[in-house]
Amino acid sequence: MARPRTPLLSRDRIVEVATAIVDAEGLDALSTRRLARELGVQAPSLYNHFATKEEIVDAIGDAIVAEVDLSMLGRDPWPAALRAWARAYRAAFRAHPNVVPFLARGPARRPASLRLADAVYGALVDAGWPPAQATRIGAAMRYFVAGSALGSFALGFVDDPQLYAADYPRLRDAHRLAGRHAQVDDSAFELGLDALVDSLERKFAALPPT
């Protein structure tokens, strides 16, 4: 029998299928046995590409972060760049919400994640922010973006007017939020982003001259 011209497995294919499992069912659903079954191979075949499940999860996280546009950093004025990057970062997270708790831990040794951190920090320092402040800004932005992508604020309220009417009268319109969750959540993100960047601009203007 002729050997296949292309290998049955590749790192990219493993990551693609593993990401689909995690997106659909969460990180706990991912195992090497389940992944091998979905790929139509035996579990030991995966070890030619990844030594452990943890390495696969790392690769999933790095592939997601690699989707984030960084082109504005160092090119545009830092306030505009920070806003555009935050939106791109959030979009990548929201496309894969089940991976956000893992990504929120930090970059570890993942190349794309480290490139992102380097680009954000470098753009801020090059713009004139002191290194310590640039580090704090990067951390604050990650907290804000990851938090906004963990779940929907609006979808946390049930569509039941009676629930709120008697005991929570100030929430009498809360039952309407779920039906407009995308608008509510997106506008809340933009409000928070404006507040954060506007505050940083004021701090930047007050920095002592170097």
Neighbours of 28 (CB within 10 A): 8
- Quote the tokens at residue 39: 């790929």
Return mean pLDDT, the chain.
Answer: 93
Please tell me whether residue 31 adopts helix, strand or coil conformation: coil
12 token code pair? 């990219």
Q: Cα–Cα distance between 116 and 73 in angstroms, integer? A: 10
How many Å apart are CA 50 and CA 32, to the nearest integer?
10
CA angle 43/45/48 to nearest 5° reads 130
3-state secondary structure of 58: helix
Distance (Å, whole) CA 115 – CA 54: 20
The pLDDT tens digits for 24-54 are: 999 999 999 999 999 999 989 999 999 999 9
Residues 154-178 have pLDDT tens digits of 999 999 999 998 899 999 999 999 9
pLDDT score recorded for residue 209 = 85
pLDDT digits over 108-144, tens only? 999 999 999 999 999 999 999 999 999 999 999 999 9
Task: Name the token pair of 26.
Answer: 């969460």
- pLDDT, one tens digit per residue, over 50-92 is 999 999 999 999 999 999 999 999 999 999 999 999 999 999 9
Percent of the chain with pLDDT over 70: 97
Per-residue pLDDT band at 6 (split at 50, 70, 90): very low
The radius of gyration of the chain's CA atoms, rounded to the nearest angstrom, is: 21
Q: Is 70 exceeded by the pLDDT of residue 180?
A: yes
User: In this predicted structure, what is the pLDDT of residue 210?
Assistant: 72
145 to each of 63, 99, 133, how far by Cα in Å? 18, 13, 18
> Is the distance from CB of 73 to CB of 85 less than 8 angstroms?
yes
| Interatomic CA distance for residues 160 and 172, integer angstroms | 10
Report whether 4 contacts 37 (CB < 8 A).
no
